[in-house]
Each structure stands twice: as structure tokens, then as C-alpha cells.
Chain A
Amino acid sequence: MIICRCEEVTYGELVETADKYGCSPRELKLRTRAGMGYCGGRTCRNAVDSIAHSSTKRDVSQITLKYQPPIRPISFSKLGGVGNND
């Protein structure tokens, strides 16, 4: 069963990795690349977070998986600003 569609990471891989390393959500993400694809984890974030929290305790005062701009898809030319053809 696919969890991260962008990076094609399965439920099995995530559970196995979480089990083997007792990972935090961030470590689980870095080890498997789940949530690091072009959608920015918008589909699988909660799933990755849940799987990691099955074996580790949640720190309620921290967002476990960091958000980074741009939080919506944007073309490179727009992101880079004006005059990209110069």
C-alpha cells in the first residue's frame, strides 16, 4: 500500500523503518523520503506522523514535520522573480 505517492514509499517500508530505528517523524521522513516529493507532503504528512508516533512519544510543543515555503506549487520562473529570460 502506497503512503507517499510522490516518492512511492509504502506502508510496509515506513512501518519497518520506524520499528527498526524507533524514529521520530522527521527521521522517518529523512530515512525513507516519504513527504519529500513535489507535493511537499500534503497527502502523506499525517500518515508519516502517525506511523512514527506509534513507537515514539509526541512532543506536543513542536510541529514534527517542518513546513517550508513555497507551500503551494509555483513555477521556477515566478519563484525566481522577473527577467528570467535575460
Chain B
Amino acid sequence: MSKVIIIGAGPAGLSAAITIAENGLNVLVIDEYMKPGGRLLGQLYEEPNGNWWNGIKESQNLFDKAVSTGVEIKLQTPVSNIEESNGIWNVYTEDEVYTTSHLLLATGAAEAPLPIPGWTLPGVMSVGAAQVMTNVHRVKPGERGVIVGVNVLSSAIAMELKLAGIDVAAITLPKMNMVTKESGNPLDVMNSLLHVSHMAPSAFVKMGSKLMKNDFLKRMGITFFPKNGVKMWDIPIMLRKAVVEIYGESQVEGVTIATISPSGDIIPGTEENIAADFVCIAGGLYPLAELAAVAGCPFYHVEELGGYVPLHNERMETVLEGLYVAGNITGIEGAKVAISQGVTAGLAIVNSTDGGKQEAKLNDSIKAIEETRNKAYIQFHPDVKAGKQKLQNYWNEHWKAVVSQ
């Protein structure tokens, strides 16, 4: 049979490649970036057991293992289109068209922007870009930054910037508008932060979050939230301030912030300026599913999974013959879940080529995803499991409809 093709050399794509190669099939992994690892490259944090999760090292390990099992990896090769004809998938890159009977999309996630006046100035970047500059390329995005958007990703990256000796003046909210919505609402932001409070380095925050069980206490909490923020890693996290404008002549010179009400309305006359030479926008992640869309996969919008996800089952099969998905394209979760999903997708592909010899392993790997999910240190959405269940229901409905036609 032809080579299996995997698009995306992140944790999901590489673990799938290793699984498939270990079972004796040829694999080609294609990635648009210059280094293997995907978003895993930028990650750096301390786990509860005191071990450091270093994305660069984890990526290198996966890459080395893939290469040693005979996986072929093509970097700096963007895929511009995929198309199925007569049971064969054509994968279009700039210079070549590759073909395969089994194609895995492991394209990961992209960052959603939060538009703020002045966001087109040089020096404004997504928080993920600042992470890659700092941790991967070892280039400081600036001397002093402001992070706009308070969420799991932005607080983790704030700490990474701090570790690299970059001053983070504040993490704060964007001014509420029709795009920023919940990201600009202090109460919504606090709610979304409560489920990650176990990660907070401050005992005060951990304890406080336990008390915030009901809506009344939450409202009290946000009403009395210190206007100058609560410090984490020495960075003020300001839930009652919002950036109303990023200013600067020809590049970022600072941001104007104002105090906001618990529901996100600007309190006039409270504006003040914070000097900064770069601004990070943190609008959260969404599944990067462009290729599944051009391929013609049905899609569902599942809030808990971060946006539109291609319809797939727990074996990582889409409804299209020979097309599989794994990693953040199936919903926003941590790298460890992505690695587990890659194993399942890999086994599903092997299983379809060897007449179902992998059934037992495949079922075990599906359970392993669930276990990894349960143990995950970082959860991007508290109800990710409910989101997965929704998708499973859509899958069942889809096939019921197909059968009855």
C-alpha cells in the first residue's frame, strides 16, 4: 500500500507516525513550520510533582523516536489543499502532489484575535507568537509587555516570559465589544479561571477559589477584586481593568487602561496609561480545521471544544473514507491528550490495513485517552468531556440519518 500521510508534526502527528511506523507501514509527515513539535515547542511549566514539562525536549524526543522508526518528515512544506478522487487522497504542497489511501490531519489549533483599537501597530502580537519568539527562537519580543486577555494560555505564557527575564507590566482584559464578548467580562473571566485555580502559585487564590462556589459569592469576589490586581509571579492580574486602546506613533508605546464594572462596562474618568514596547493579545485557541473543511467533512460547533470541529468518532475516523483526525483539530486540550489521540489514530489506520488485528489495542488506546484527559494538569475548558459527548451524539445521529436514507 501507499505511504500513510500525516499533516502536522506536533505531538498528535508525531505520536501517530511512530505508532504506524512501529507496525511496519511507511509514513510521511508534512509540516509547514521549520521545526518539528508544533505548539508543543513553546511549552514550559512546572508540574505538581516538581518536574518541568519542557516542550523543546519533548518535541525532540518525539522527533528522534519518529526518525529512528523510519518516519520521513518534510518541514517548511505548507499544504494548500487536499482532495479525494477514486479512494485516493491528493495532498497539494507548493512543489509536489502526494497521494495516499490513509490521510491523518493533525493540524492543531490557531489563536483567535481580540480586536482592540491600535491592534494593527507594530509590536502587537498574539500571545503564542511571543511564546515562540521567546522559547523557541530565544528572541525577546520586547523589554516590557502587556498581555490582553486573561486565560489559561496567557497566564502560562506570562510566567514563561517572566522566566526569560522579560517584564510583564500587567495581564488584563480587553475592552468589551461584539468580538471580545466574554473575554471582556470580569465575571465570565473569573468563572473560567476558577477551574484552573489549582495551578495558582498563591495559597490565597487557591483558598479563595474554594469559597467562590455560588453566584452571590462570585459577584462579591469580582466586585471587591483589587483594582490593581492580584499578583501572580509578581505580575498583576487585573480583572477589573480593561485595555481601551493600544497607543504609539509608529510602534507600540503603551496601552490605555480603565476600570470596568463587574459586567465589563468602562467607568469614565478612570483611564491611565501603562508604558510598554509590546502587547500580546490572548483570545484563546480554536481547532485549525481548514483542511478538513476543504475536504468536505461535516462540522459541528462545540463551545466546550473551542469552536468548529470535524465530525469524528472515538477512533479518530471522520465520516470520509481514509481521512482521520487527531490532536487539537478535534478540540482544544493539552499536549498529553494529543499524544494519546495520535496513538489511537495511528492504530485505527493500521487496523484498517491489516484486517482488524488491532481491535484490542485500539480499544485500550481509547481508554488511555480518557485517562490522560482525567489526569490532565491543564484543562482548557472545564466541560471538555461534555463536549466530547455532544460530538459522539452528533456522530450517532449522522449515521442513523445515513442508514435511514
Task: Enumerate chain A residues within 8 angstroms of B94, measured Cβ to Cβ.
Answer: 74-75, 78
Stretch with Cβ within 8 A of A (4 or more), from B194-202, B203-211, B290-298: B290-298
User: Chain B's nearest CB lies how many Å from the CB of A57?
Assistant: 11
User: Chain B's nearest CB lies how many Å from the CB of A4?
Assistant: 10
User: Is A46 touching B179 in the complex (CB atoms < 8 A)?
Assistant: yes
**B120 within 8 Å of A by Cβ?**
yes
Q: Which residue of the partner chain, among A50, A58, A67, contacts B290 with CB atoms under 8 Å?
A: A67
Cβ-closest chain A residue relative to B307:
A46
**B53 within 8 Å of A by Cβ?**
no
Task: Enumerate chain B residues within 8 angstroms of A33, measured Cβ to Cβ.
Answer: none
**A30 within 8 Å of B by Cβ?**
no
15 contacts between A and B (CB under 8 A): A3-B115, A3-B179, A11-B179, A15-B178, A46-B113, A46-B286, A47-B179, A58-B301, A61-B301, A61-B394, A69-B294, A70-B92, A71-B79, A71-B290, A78-B95
Q: Please provide the chain A residues from 1 to 22 with a CB less than 8 Å away from any CB of chain B in the complex.
A: 1-3, 5, 11, 15
User: Is A63 touching B181 in the complex (CB atoms < 8 A)?
Assistant: no
A15 to B113, CA, bound (A): 17
Q: Please provide the chain B residues from 210 to 226 with a CB less than 8 Å away from any CB of chain A in the complex.
A: none
User: Chain A's nearest CB lies how many Å from the CB of B394?
Assistant: 8
User: Chain A's nearest CB lies how many Å from the CB of B221?
Assistant: 27
Cβ-closest chain A residue relative to B180:
A50
User: Is A72 touching B178 in the complex (CB atoms < 8 A)?
Assistant: no
**B153 within 8 Å of A by Cβ?**
no
A71 to B117, CA, bound (A): 28
Cβ-closest chain A residue relative to B394:
A61
| Count of A-B contacts judged by CB separation below 8 Å | 74
Q: Which residue of the partner chain, among A5, A63, A72, contacts B120 with CB atoms under 8 Å?
A: A5
User: Chain A's nearest CB lies how many Å from the CB of B360?
Assistant: 34
**Mask of A61-83 contacts with B, CB within 8 angstroms, 1/0:** 11100111111101100100000
**B binding-site residues for A, Cβ under 8 Å:** 32, 78-81, 83, 92, 94-95, 110, 112-113, 115-117, 119-120, 177-179, 181, 283, 286, 290-291, 293-294, 298-302, 308, 394
**A54 within 8 Å of B by Cβ?**
yes
User: Is B178 touching A67 in the complex (CB atoms < 8 A)?
Assistant: no
Q: Which of A43, A47, A66 has the most CB of B within 10 A?
A: A47
User: Chain A's nearest CB lies how many Å from the CB of B148?
Assistant: 14
Q: Which residue of the partner chain, among A2, A60, A66, A75, contacts B302 with CB atoms under 8 Å?
A: A60
Which of the four size classes fits the interface of chain A? 20 to 34
**A23 within 8 Å of B by Cβ?**
no
Q: A46-B113, A71-B80 are in contact. List 20 more A-B contacts (CB 8 A).
A: A1-B115, A1-B117, A2-B119, A5-B120, A11-B177, A11-B178, A11-B179, A46-B286, A50-B178, A50-B179, A51-B179, A60-B300, A61-B299, A67-B294, A69-B83, A70-B81, A71-B290, A71-B291, A72-B78, A74-B80
**A binding-site residues for B, Cβ under 8 Å:** 1-3, 5, 11, 15, 42-44, 46-47, 50-51, 54, 58, 60-63, 66-72, 74-75, 78
Task: Enumerate chain A residues within 8 angstroms of B181, measured Cβ to Cβ.
Answer: 50
Task: Enumerate chain B residues within 8 angstroms of A11, measured Cβ to Cβ.
Answer: 115, 177-179
Task: Enumerate chain B residues within 8 angstroms of A47, measured Cβ to Cβ.
Answer: 113, 115, 179
User: Is A72 touching B300 in the complex (CB atoms < 8 A)?
Assistant: no
Task: Enumerate chain B residues within 8 angstroms of A51, measured Cβ to Cβ.
Answer: 178-179
A66 to B116, CA, bound (A): 25
User: Is B178 touching A1 in the complex (CB atoms < 8 A)?
Assistant: no
A56 to B294, CA, bound (A): 25
Q: Which residue of the partner chain, among B92, B119, B286, B299, contacts A62 with CB atoms under 8 Å?
A: B299
Cβ-closest chain A residue relative to B95:
A78
Task: Enumerate chain B residues within 8 angstroms of A72, measured Cβ to Cβ.
Answer: 32, 78-80
User: Is A69 touching B81 in the complex (CB atoms < 8 A)?
Assistant: yes
Q: Which residue of the partner chain, among B95, B283, B302, contacts A46 with CB atoms under 8 Å?
A: B283
User: Is B301 touching A60 in the complex (CB atoms < 8 A)?
Assistant: yes
User: Chain B's nearest CB lies how many Å from the CB of A46?
Assistant: 5
User: Is A71 touching B299 in the complex (CB atoms < 8 A)?
Assistant: no
Task: Enumerate chain A residues within 8 angstroms of B78, measured Cβ to Cβ.
Answer: 72, 74
